[in-house]
Structure 1
Amino acid sequence: MTSSTMPINESDAKSSAIARAKRLAPDLAARIGSTPATKFRGNPDIFGRLVADHDEHRALIAMIEQTSGDSPDRRRLFDEMVKEMQAHAAAEEQALWSVVLRNPDTTEHGRHAVAEHKQIDDLIEELQEADMASPGWLRRFAALKDKYLHHIREEEQEQFVAAEQHLSEADLTHLRAVFNRRKQAEKAMAA
């Protein structure tokens, strides 16, 4: 293994993800608290990469919760969260779930994950259309938070574990390359 593919410990992996989120609003705390147990956090391969994104999303959510009204911090953090989540989901669907859906042993996990991505997109769209300063926006945001945290907990504890058991080394190499390329392209289109 090269130094760029060496696993890092769970605490360092989580700290790195939080630091990426904090670059947008350094004065806001990004307390994500305990996270679901997963063997993938800190792993340099595809599942560890996905968990790192999830941890960054958790931090962005925690930071948004500290904002109020239609403030510059709330708008900047929310816009970044949306861009990150949508790029992540598109890349994850193309890289991971497209492969998982082809295997009868894991098809249901893939269907479930993709269906939840759609539900999360719908909640994001509602938030984008709502007045950020209204109490209704915060209620919708709480619903998004609950749905998203449920979704990534399932992925990290169940779906990734099941998928990993059915993927070859060639699959994993392909998934990593496709995910990284697709996520970069999605973020570039959103900019």
Structure 2
Amino acid sequence: MATKTKEKAPAKAKADAIAKAKAIAPDVPARIGTTPETDLRGLPDIFGRLIEDHDRHRALLAMIEVTEGKSADREALFEELVYELKSHAAAEEQALWSTVLRNPETTEFARHAVAEHKDIDKMLDDLTARDMGKKKWMERFADLKHEYLHHIREEEQEQFVESEKILTDADRKHMRDVFERRKTEEKARAELKPKLKISDIA
């Protein structure tokens, strides 16, 4: 088991992550409510870094939910959410799951996480194709929010917990470095990509 040396206090780590989301639309409230219990938040390793992103994503989801119509705030927040989720998933797969997949003890956890990434990616592309000023967009967004919060809860309370058992401190620190580099690269080339042309009538 890796040493739980904190990079920063969990409450500060969460607050800092929310502040990054708030910078996109400072006037929109970011009420994320309670988050799953974890002792990984604030760690100076891959898990602490991934949870930092998760908290940022929770804030973006909460902020989008309280916007109205095809507003500038909703557009900016959704664009950031798409770039964040796509780059986060790709970098997470390269930095963490590619290694965890190779261990028989954790293969299924990794496969499950990667499969859910694909589902979420499709939901983002579907939303991108729709008119965000219409009711149907918010209904689809609610589905995305539910799916993503379920996904990161599983990661934080199950998949990360099992994965950390097979990784050394050095592994976890190296994975964080890989994640940071890959996420920057992935976010720079992420796109708002509609799944298909949709004529919304609802």
The normalised TM-score by structure 1 is 0.95
* 1:189 Cα deviation after fit: 1.6
Distance in 1 between the 2:47 and 2:101 partners?
Answer: 17
Distance in 2 between the 1:103 and 1:134 partners?
Answer: 46
Q: Verify: 1:133 aligned to 2:112, yes or no.
A: no
- Indicate the structure with greater helix content: 1
**What's the counterpart of residue 68 of structure 1?**
68
* 1:86 Cα deviation after fit: 0.7
Distance in 2 between the 1:130 and 1:93 partners?
Answer: 28
Provide Cα deviations, 1:58-100, integer angstroms capped at 9, x if missing partner: 0000000111111110000000011011110000000100000
- Aligned-pair identity in percent equals 61
Distance in 1 between the 2:58 and 2:168 partners?
Answer: 30
Distance in 2 between the 1:22 and 1:113 partners?
Answer: 27
Matching of residues 168-183 of structure 1 within 5 Å: 168-183=168-183
Q: Classify 1:11/1:173 alpha carbon distance in 2 versus 1 (closer, same or farther; 3 Å).
A: closer
**What's the counterpart of residue 123 of structure 1?**
123
The residue type paired with residue 173 of structure 2 is T
Q: Report how many residues are paired.
A: 187
Matching of residues 123-162 of structure 1 within 5 Å: 123-162=123-162
* 1:7 Cα deviation after fit: 2.2
* 1:107 Cα deviation after fit: 0.1
* 1:6 Cα deviation after fit: 4.9
**Greater relative contact order (Cα 8 A, min sep 6): structure 1 or 2?**
2
Instruction: Give the unaligned 5+ runs of structure 1.
Output: none
Matching of residues 80-91 of structure 1 within 5 Å: 80-91=80-91
- Structure 1 runs (4+) deviating above 3 angstroms are none
Provide Cα deviations, 1:120-175, integer angstroms capped at 9, x if missing partner: 00110110001101100000000000000000000000000000000123322331
> Aligned-pair RMSD on alpha carbons?
1.2
Do the aligned partners of 2:6 and 2:43 also contact (CA within 8 Å) in 1? yes
**What's the counterpart of residue 56 of structure 1?**
56
Q: Classify 1:10/1:169 alpha carbon distance in 2 versus 1 (closer, same or farther; 3 Å).
A: closer
Provide Cα deviations, 1:10-62, integer angstroms capped at 9, x if missing partner: 21111101100000111111011100001111112110000000000000000
Distance in 1 between the 2:126 and 2:190 partners?
Answer: 18
**What's the counterpart of residue 188 of structure 2?**
188
Distance in 2 between the 1:102 and 1:129 partners?
Answer: 36
